[in-house]
Structure formats: structure tokens, C-alpha cells
Chain A
Amino acid sequence: MDKTINITLKVWRQKGPKEKGHFETYNLQNISTNMSFLEMLDTLNEQLVAKHEEPVVFDHDCREGICGMCSLYINGHPHGRDSHTTTCQLHMRRFKDGETITIEPWRSAGFPVVRDLMVDRSAYDKIMQAGGYTSIRCGAAQDANALPIPKPDADEAMDAASCIGCGACAAACKNGSAMLFVSAKVSQLALLPQGRVEAARRAKAMVAKMDELGFGNCTNTGACEAECPKGVSIANIARLNREYLKAKLKD
């Protein structure tokens, strides 16, 4: 039952944001197919440490697909080939014996490499700080049921809100565009009455920040949606465009 495979890893190693990176090849023997992908990397790192070499640096935390910390570009796909899966939910049974697996960091000007496979995604935080909120003060809220919200709107807002901020959208986009991320937040709040109040301001501020940070322009390829581990729809991008253009035309 506990099948094992042998694999070859081609892992991107890079000392720092300004230094030149390269691929390093590692062979791993007897990898249990029940392992998760990150546990396989743990195994690699244990072996490297045993040889007194520096382990491969990669981001990871919750390992249950929700924190958005893991960020590997595996064989040409962010979070690997499977749809609706984060890297930490990917298992080695999805790979064949003898397979070569290429692991790269997110490659986007907005996400500079910090070390090896770890990138700096603080740009997404900055976009959020530009307007991804409702300006309410704690203690000032009215009763939660004072504002009925149609279930379909609430459900659609929830689907947009399920974004985990991992950055796979910008990593998958051939234009390095962060539109899916931005649109998910703008959509969530635009769909709800409590977010409508500042909808115009929010759309303008978040798009301006996104542009300023050097993310690319959306050309509607849909790669972001296809690679999004939470399946956030590009219909949100249409809504962002609408909100933004409406806001700008009003000015």
C-alpha cells in the first residue's frame, strides 16, 4: 500500500534578490507516495542538513490550503498541475516513478525573490492598505441583522472573499497582472451594502496602487482563474473594470 518512487528535482536556488539564481539537481530515493509535496521537500532538506548543506528555503505554514503562504511553481504550474489545490495539498502520488520535477519561485516583477523559492509578496499587502477595507471604527457598528443582504449577493461575495492571497494569479499571468487578486477584494466589498459606500474610492485607490507597484495589465487570458487554488472567477475582473470605469467617469 505504501508505494515509493524515485524522483529527480530541479530546484531554483538563489542567494538574494539581486544575485543570479540557477537550478540545482537533486535525486530523491524511496519517496512515499502518501507524502505531501512539502513533506517531500522536508525530506530533501533533512538530507541536505545531514550533509551540512544549506536547506532549500521555501514559504509554507498552515499546510492545509488556507494560509496562502506556500508558493511553488511546479512543472510549469503555480501550486502544481491539479486544479483547486495549493502546493501543500499536493501529494506525491500525483507524480510518476523516475519523473523530473522542476520547482521554481513565483516569477513576477511584483514578487522579487528573497531566497531560493521564497518571494516577497508584500505588494499585495500594500494594495490592501490602499483601500481593501470598509472605514468603520470598532464599536460603531449597527446590529448585524439591521442590513439584510440577498443570499445570492452574500454567496458571491463569499466566493470572491475566498482568495488566500497566495499570488498564484500574478505568478501564472503572462503579463504579471494582479487583477484577479485586486478584483476579488473589490468585488467582495462592492457586492455588499456596507462596502458600497466607499466602492468608488476603493476601486480607484487599489488599482492606482497596483499600477504603481509595477504589476502588468490584464489581457483576459484567464490563466489566473485556471491556476487559482480557490477558483476565484475572472467575472470579478469584469466587475472591477466596471467599478473603476464608473468611478473614473464620475470624477
Chain B
Amino acid sequence: MENEQQSNSDAKQSLVYTFKIKGHLGQQWLNWFEGLAVTLEEDGNSLLRGPVIDQSALYGILKKIRDLGMPLLSVNFTDSNQPLESGTGEVNDDL
């Protein structure tokens, strides 16, 4: 219920998603993934993180990841009110 309210009230705003990918990605991917920020994890993985306007944009990103053969480890939805820093704590729980 709470989630639903959240997404309804934020319907006009983008939601923030984090994609965890195996291997360290270079910063040059920023444009390719239309503004997702790349952060590198110590365990050798990368986080692509940023606002995604809707579900079809989300699938567009997944397709790009697929087409580059990047091994995808997890996708997480993040509360857009949280700051955009990376932290290992947010994304490792569903691996």
C-alpha cells in the first residue's frame, strides 16, 4: 500500500534505479546509458544509477545491457528522496 502511494504521488517524477553489473565500466558509458552515473564497487562490480522516467525506459536500459553482453547482477528500485551517493549497503541484499 505504502509503495503504491509513493509511486502515485511521484507519478510525474522519475524513479531512481540501480543496475549492478559485473566488471568495472568506464566513464565513457555515461552518454550511452543516457545519464546514468557509473560508480565502481570494490568487489569488481559497477553500479549504474540514475533517474528512469518510466517502465519502457527501464526496459530500454535492460536491453542495452543485454545487447552489450554485460552480466547483470541485480536491478534495484531506490527511493528518489534518498541522496544519490553510492553505498554498498543498498544493493547487495538481493544478490
Partners in one complex: no
